[in-house]
Structure 1
């Protein structure tokens, strides 16, 4: 069975992060609080690397609109940090995040599974909502953020292969890992990105129809959570 443990309260400020530096500070604080084998810690390390990479790219002027990229990055990260804060406060996180928090200490789940489950929750659910949040903050349409969205996606894609190489079991475990190889190969970051963009456009289109928007968000959350449970199938 999945091992569920409460998340230790953390000494970082609650509420939405103010900027990318605040996001980085909070994720570094989390890194210092959790053991390396914790499933949420595995994802946090990867996400911290991604955010540091995006931050450097913004500073170097590699995004078409620096302010838009920063706002999107922060709105995206605050969805993950809000899930962490919810668990720390004894509340239920979104359904998309629940499998990772529930299985975070399961001895039969491998680090690569934790990483992909976190990425699945964050891109599959959070990214679409973050685009809408950013559009509201910036007073723009999703189409105005498409270049920034694609650039962030390029950073994620560049890191995905390294993540799989670093966390995949070595040659001595290939026979045991055969089902794992099949499982993780069935999940695609590119398809998740495409679905997130479609979801953002749909949510923006129905933003003045709250019942419909709420229903879509709820079903998106539940569907991504179901995929996360499959990704976290224990292998022993």
Structure 2
């Protein structure tokens, strides 16, 4: 299935839609060695996707349909980048640094994880909100509750990263630049930026040339941040 066709699919049954995303993440992840930079991000993102699925099943989202659609179309942005790379095509600029450095021995797992979050939230989340508005025939304001709830669950991703791939105290003391790098990127700021970008893009929906230019600039800017996050330390 082509990338554009995947993004156009409106999720139907909640559990089935989320499960299909999980299966694709598992399929990609099983083909990569544990130290692969994409595998590092994929593991933590898979855990969060499963957590969001549990929240949906438990009825913790006021608008279940909006939550499922946003969650699935958000994940498909990441999966489409993987599909593009596997087919020999160029993924979005925000993802290219991670593909380029994924096997670099001087880049630590924490950096790979942060670069993946940066690409997915800084670029993909805004576009996923717009995708969801088109799919459901609604406005961004109608999705704010689902956006905030998904964002709260995304905090688990950051916490899991700190638990699973954060260097120990001794290494952090030695690697002062890495400590500075970790503190220079903010999940909350990225979420706020994604929401603002989504609202702006929705406002530009009748001005496709301007919208396309904005998306290109957003993609390039997020990619630049990702390249900085992946600076090798040796």
TM-score (norm 2): 0.93
Q: What is residue 93 of structure 1 aligned with on the other side?
A: 91
Looking at structure 2, the residues matched to 176 and 234 of structure 1 have their Cα atoms a distance apart, in angstroms, of: 15
Q: What is residue 182 of structure 1 aligned with on the other side?
A: 180
1:42-98 Cα shifts (integer Å, max 9, x gaps): 010011001000000000000011111000011101100000000000011000000
After superposition, residues 132-147 of structure 1 pair within 5 angstroms as 132-147=130-145
Q: What is residue 223 of structure 1 aligned with on the other side?
A: 221
Give the drift of 1:36: 0.6
1:103-132 Cα shifts (integer Å, max 9, x gaps): 000000000000000000000000000000
Looking at structure 2, the residues matched to 110 and 44 of structure 1 have their Cα atoms a distance apart, in angstroms, of: 15
After superposition, residues 1-236 of structure 1 pair within 5 angstroms as 15=3, 16=6, 19-236=17-234
Gaps of 5+ in 2: 12-16
Report the secondary structure of 2:150's partner residue: helix
Give the drift of 1:184: 1.2
Looking at structure 1, the residues matched to 147 and 208 of structure 2 have their Cα atoms a distance apart, in angstroms, of: 25
> 8 Å contact 1:111–1:167 — kept in the other structure?
yes
Looking at structure 1, the residues matched to 19 and 159 of structure 2 have their Cα atoms a distance apart, in angstroms, of: 26
Looking at structure 2, the residues matched to 14 and 23 of structure 1 have their Cα atoms a distance apart, in angstroms, of: 16
> 8 Å contact 2:78–2:120 — kept in the other structure?
yes
Looking at structure 1, the residues matched to 163 and 178 of structure 2 have their Cα atoms a distance apart, in angstroms, of: 14
Structure with greater proportional helix content: 2
Give the drift of 1:163: 1.2
Give the drift of 1:162: 3.1
The number of equivalent residue pairs is 224
Looking at structure 2, the residues matched to 158 and 45 of structure 1 have their Cα atoms a distance apart, in angstroms, of: 13
Give the drift of 1:14: 6.0
RMSD, matched Cα: 1.2
Give the drift of 1:174: 2.6
Looking at structure 2, the residues matched to 150 and 44 of structure 1 have their Cα atoms a distance apart, in angstroms, of: 22
Give the drift of 1:172: 2.9
Looking at structure 1, the residues matched to 159 and 19 of structure 2 have their Cα atoms a distance apart, in angstroms, of: 26
Report the secondary structure of 2:175's partner residue: helix
